[in-house]
Amino acid sequence: MTWTTVAKFDELPEEEGVCVVAEGRKIALFKIGDEVFAIDDTCSHAEAQLSQGFVEDCAVECPLHQACFDLRTGAALSAPATEPVNTYPAKVEAGAVLIEL
Amino acid sequence: MAEKQYDILIIGAGQAGRRAAEGVRSVSQTASIAIIGEELHAPYDRPPLSKEALLQENGAALCDIRTHQSYADDHIDLYLGMRALSINRASKTVSTDGGVLFGYEKLILATGSRPKMLPVLPYDDELVRSLRTKEDAAVIAGRLRPGALVVIVGAGFIGLEVASAALARGAKPVVIDVADRVLGRVLPRTISEPIAQAHREAGVELLLGASLGVARRKADKIEIGVGDRTLSADLVISGVGVTPNVELAEAAGLEVDDGLVVTQTGHTSDPDILGAGEVVRHPVALTNDVLRLESWQVAEKQAYAVGRNAAGVETVYAEPPWFWSDQLGMNIQLVGAFSPQARIIPRISESCGACYFAIDESDGSGRILGAATIDAGADMSVARRLMGRRIDLDALADTNIPLRQIMKSSR
Residues of B in contact with A13 (CB under 8 A): none
Residues of A in contact with B404 (CB under 8 A): 54
Nearest to B212 by CA among B195, B186, B236: B236
What is the dihedral angle through the alpha carbons of B329, B330, B331, B333, rounded to the nearest 10 degrees? -150
Question: Contact B35/B17 with Cβ under 8 angstroms?
Answer: yes
Hey, is A1 helix, strand or coil?
coil
Tell me: the pLDDT tens digits for B43-86? 999 999 999 999 999 999 999 999 999 999 999 999 999 999 99
Residue of chain B whose Cα is closest to the Cα of A63: B377
| β-sheet bridge partners, residue A61 | A54, A68
For an interface test with A, which of B62, B301, B379, B380 has the most A Cβ atoms less than 10 Å from its Cβ? Answer: B380
Residues of B in contact with A79 (CB under 8 A): 65, 300
Task: State the helix-helix crossing angle for B157-168 and B189-202, rounded to 10 degrees.
Answer: 20
Around Cβ B407, how many Cβ atoms within 10 Å?
17
Asked whether the beta carbons of residue B380 and residue A52 sit closer than 8 angstroms, the reply is no
Question: Contact A47/B56 with Cβ under 8 angstroms?
Answer: no
Residue of chain A whose Cα is closest to the Cα of B300: A79
Residue of chain B whose Cα is closest to the Cα of A14: B404
Around Cβ B347, how many Cβ atoms within 10 Å?
22
Over chain B (411 residues), what is each successive 10-residue block's mean pLDDT? 90 98 98 98 97 95 95 98 98 95 98 97 97 97 97 98 98 98 94 97 98 94 95 98 98 98 98 98 92 96 98 97 96 94 91 92 84 95 94 91 87 62
Question: In the prediction, which pLDDT does B288 show?
Answer: 84
Tell me: the pLDDT tens digits for A51-78? 999 999 999 999 999 999 999 999 999 9
Question: By the CB < 8 Å criterion, does A84 face chain B?
Answer: no
**pTM, whole model, 2 decimals?**
0.95
Question: In the prediction, which pLDDT does B411 show?
Answer: 62
Around Cβ B234, how many Cβ atoms within 10 Å?
18
Q: Which residues contact B323 (CB under 8 A, 6 or more apart)?
A: B157, B186, B295, B296, B297, B333, B334, B335
Asked whether the beta carbons of residue A66 and residue B378 sit closer than 8 angstroms, the reply is no
Give the span between the Cα atoms of B259 and B245, in whole angstroms.
Answer: 8
Mean pLDDT computed over A27-55: 95
Asked whether the beta carbons of residue B381 and residue A65 sit closer than 8 angstroms, the reply is no
